[in-house]
Chains A and B, each alone.
Chain A
Amino acid sequence: MNKLSRSADWIDQAEPRKPRKVSRLDRLRDAVRNPGFVAAVPISLLFIAGFLAPLTVVVLFAFMPPETFSLLQVPTLDNFRSIFAGTYYLSFVSSLELATCTVVILLVVCYPLAVAMVRIFGNKGSILAIVLAAPLFVADNLRLMGWMLFLVKGGVVSGTLQTYFGIELDSMLYTFSATLFGLVYIYLPFMLFPMVLGVSMVPPKLREAAFDLGATNAQVLREIDIPLAMPGIIIGALICFILVAGAITEAKVLGGTAVVMIAQDIQKEFTFAQNWPKGSALSVLLIAMGGALSWALFKRVDLDTIFGRK
């Protein structure tokens, strides 16, 4: 009997193999051995320890009695009642107003810049990107203190104007506008770079085809450029909106507390007021607001498209 026939016999004699019953333990073992799972372990641990755990503590504290420092108490809604009975809505409104204004200004400023970086400057665009990203290597506080010295009465701007042109300027600080300026300046890179990503997703051939078919510049902008860059635009706008809504330093350093942002109220509750539960309740409301906005926008954005997986 040759090898071939012997193996054929073996096949004939063999009983049809029953599908192995996969137990839950097996499935778990397979899942744990999955490279995707293993790769996700470090970030998951970081996420649990660095994000979920503190967030859970904040949420729990929000339901503790006011001016207490322990989580082991009977939960209450007193903090939320106190917030809704007071005028904290003013700080929320101020934060949302500043966040909206900042995002609108950044959209107008950053879009042409992003288009120029992607389509006009070519390789030099990366140099511009480095220049624009460079301030990120300096702490916000330092940059804002620099602007304070620049804008304060007798500072670089008003001092120069007075010395060389005899123009006397008062302080340009401590106003809503000064706060807005600080926010636009600090958060510009957070809008610009996602927008650059969005603009770079627009296929040049598609634009050329549109022009070949007689589309005007305005039509191409409205029907091709902006819709196709929209994921990047939305991501940039969302990041900026949420960061600005939770900002504090710009309003204090440049704004002189002319506008009280909600983050300042939260900080005060945790520090001078010694009321962690109310500070936590305000934080929960701010997080809920940011979360709802993110959820609403991400329903309209396909992240896979942005990261080039589709």
Chain B
Amino acid sequence: MKRKNLLQSFNQSRREFLRTTAMLSAGVAASGLLSSAAYAAREKEMNIYCWEGYNSDKVLDPFRREFDCEVKAQGLISDPEAVNQLRAGDTKVWDIINLNNAWGRKQLYPEGLIKPLDKAKFEPLWDMMIPEFKWPYKWAMSDDGENLLGMIQRYGPSGVLVNTDKVSAATLEDEGYDLFLADDFKGRYAVLMYDDWVVMHVAIAAGFSPFRAVTDEELAKYEVLMRKLINNAAFLSDDMNAIALGMINGSIDGSFPGSVYTVSAARLDGNPNLRCVVPNKGPEELGGRAGVRWMELTSLVNNPQLSPRGEDFLQYCYRPETCKNVSFAEGTYNPVGQMGDPRVMALFSAEELDAFQYDTLEADMNKCTDFDIIPDYTRLHDIFSAAVREKA
């Protein structure tokens, strides 16, 4: 029998062709269903939305290799933006969210955007933490103290940055934010445009706590200071490296605000004269604290198809070598809460500890109040935005 070629078979029996096509289509559809079922399991993938550092290959590559897992990471520069994205439905996208402390307890968990962790698995790991974060640490727990909302790792004080060759840290500690707001400091500093942090520090400079409702009188004082801060700045930037570069090349002497992480890389690179300084005196209602201390809370997103690798990743972050990699991720160096464990501390050299100002870290943290949600944020932020737009 003469064998048919493909074209002949196509021409001679359309019914046969249709049957074959239908079978092929069914096969493709079935394989699609199978692959979507495999996707649903998501054992080989994990997505993380985080501040810079956790998205570095230094942190993620060992995890990828060990768990044979595809990890996609996206960096963020705004807590509120990340919260909004989760609210808008991105809980389907992300497995891990890494934000500053208050968001988890005050907004993400009450709105059902993150999932509690298994306390039995994570409480023993808390033994590694420094005493300031001892179990049960407020910002890692739900309001009722029942649920563990995430892990605490990187932390730091936020005040202002200064080149100590130009202005001594002691002078800045004594004079406080007034030094930056004085006319003779005009054009000598940059404003780090992490909006909510600018708002918080200007409110504290104006003598009131940003973490409660603000009176009209306070708002008026805040506006005067905010406009002065913006108008007198050499430049405004959300690029902390550009600010550090400006301090190194001498085009500016400081930054308002600024945290240890903003200059830690530059300090390790031979510029120990760049320093984060927290003024000594703040509003009485904040216990005289002038700075704001932040601790990142890394949580599991309430993803309907949460990757099982999410919990693995959080446990992986407690390993001493991972703690060091998170602490010294590319471009930004920070202390980590797990430095309460001697195995973690042993991994840091004296130069590395000095990069994030370990000598004054505890003292600086004690001069700070905890980062919190700002109830009058809209009004305060509107004034900030208008000041930037109307910059003289």
Q: Measuring CB to CB, which residues of chain A are less than 8 angstroms from any residue of chain B?
A: 67, 69, 86-88, 90-91, 148, 152-155, 170-171, 173-174, 252-253, 256-258, 260, 265, 268, 270-276
A16 to B381, CA, bound (A): 81
Chain B residues lying within 8 Å of A155, measured Cβ to Cβ, are: 249
The answer to whether A252 touches B237, judged by C-beta atoms less than 8 angstroms apart, is: yes
A171 to B388, CA, bound (A): 21
A154 to B251, CA, bound (A): 9
The answer to whether A174 touches B249, judged by C-beta atoms less than 8 angstroms apart, is: no
The answer to whether A272 touches B236, judged by C-beta atoms less than 8 angstroms apart, is: no
Chain A residues lying within 8 Å of B249, measured Cβ to Cβ, are: 152-155, 171
B120 within 8 A of A: no
Q: Given A91, A148, A253, which contacts B389 in the complex, CB threshold below 8 Å?
A: A91
A87 to B392, CA, bound (A): 13
Chain B residues lying within 8 Å of A67, measured Cβ to Cβ, are: 378
B390 within 8 A of A: yes
Known: A152-B245, A153-B250, A258-B235. A271 touches B389 (CB 8 A): no
Tell me the smallest distance from the CB of A156 to a CB of chain B, in Å: 12
Interface set, chain B 59-91, CB cutoff 8 A to A: 78, 80-81, 83-84, 87-88
Chain B residues lying within 8 Å of A260, measured Cβ to Cβ, are: 388-389, 391
Q: Given A69, A87, A148, A270, which contacts B386 in the complex, CB threshold below 8 Å?
A: A87
The answer to whether B84 touches A257, judged by C-beta atoms less than 8 angstroms apart, is: no
Known: A90-B389, A153-B249, A258-B391. 19 other contacts (CB 8 A): A69-B87, A86-B386, A87-B390, A88-B389, A154-B249, A171-B246, A174-B234, A253-B242, A256-B236, A256-B242, A257-B236, A270-B81, A270-B84, A272-B196, A273-B381, A273-B385, A274-B80, A274-B377, A275-B378
The answer to whether A256 touches B237, judged by C-beta atoms less than 8 angstroms apart, is: yes
Closest residue of chain A to B194, judged by CB? Answer: A272
Tell me the smallest distance from the CB of A3 to a CB of chain B, in Å: 34
A265 to B195, CA, bound (A): 12
Tell me the smallest distance from the CB of B51 to a CB of chain A, in Å: 14
Q: Please list the 7 inter-chain residue pairs (A to B) with the smallest Cβ-Cβ separation, ordered nearest first.
A: A256-B235, A154-B249, A272-B195, A257-B236, A174-B235, A271-B81, A153-B251
Residues of B in contact with A, size category: 20 to 34
Chain A residues lying within 8 Å of B391, measured Cβ to Cβ, are: 257-258, 260
Main secondary structure on B side of the interface with A: helix
Chain A residues lying within 8 Å of B218, measured Cβ to Cβ, are: none
A260 to B84, CA, bound (A): 24
Chain A residues lying within 8 Å of B251, measured Cβ to Cβ, are: 152-153, 170-171
Known: A174-B235, A271-B81. A265 touches B250 (CB 8 A): no
B193 within 8 A of A: yes
Closest residue of chain B to A275, judged by CB? Answer: B378
B239 within 8 A of A: yes
Closest residue of chain B to A258, judged by CB? Answer: B235
B238 within 8 A of A: yes
Chain A residues lying within 8 Å of B250, measured Cβ to Cβ, are: 153-154
The answer to whether B235 touches A265, judged by C-beta atoms less than 8 angstroms apart, is: no
Chain A residues lying within 8 Å of B78, measured Cβ to Cβ, are: 271-272
A154 to B390, CA, bound (A): 30
The answer to whether B88 touches A69, judged by C-beta atoms less than 8 angstroms apart, is: yes
The answer to whether B385 touches A148, judged by C-beta atoms less than 8 angstroms apart, is: no
A152 to B251, CA, bound (A): 9
Closest residue of chain A to B230, judged by CB? Answer: A257
Closest residue of chain B to A271, judged by CB? Answer: B81
Closest residue of chain B to A269, judged by CB? Answer: B385
The answer to whether A257 touches B237, judged by C-beta atoms less than 8 angstroms apart, is: yes
Interface set, chain B 236-261, CB cutoff 8 A to A: 236-239, 242, 245-246, 248-251
The answer to whether B378 touches A265, judged by C-beta atoms less than 8 angstroms apart, is: no
Contacts A/B (CB < 8 Å), 17 sampled: A69-B87, A88-B389, A90-B389, A152-B245, A153-B250, A154-B250, A170-B251, A171-B249, A174-B234, A252-B239, A256-B235, A256-B237, A257-B237, A260-B388, A274-B80, A275-B378, A276-B84
Closest residue of chain B to A274, judged by CB? Answer: B80
Chain A residues lying within 8 Å of B196, measured Cβ to Cβ, are: 272
Chain B residues lying within 8 Å of A170, measured Cβ to Cβ, are: 251
A171 to B235, CA, bound (A): 11
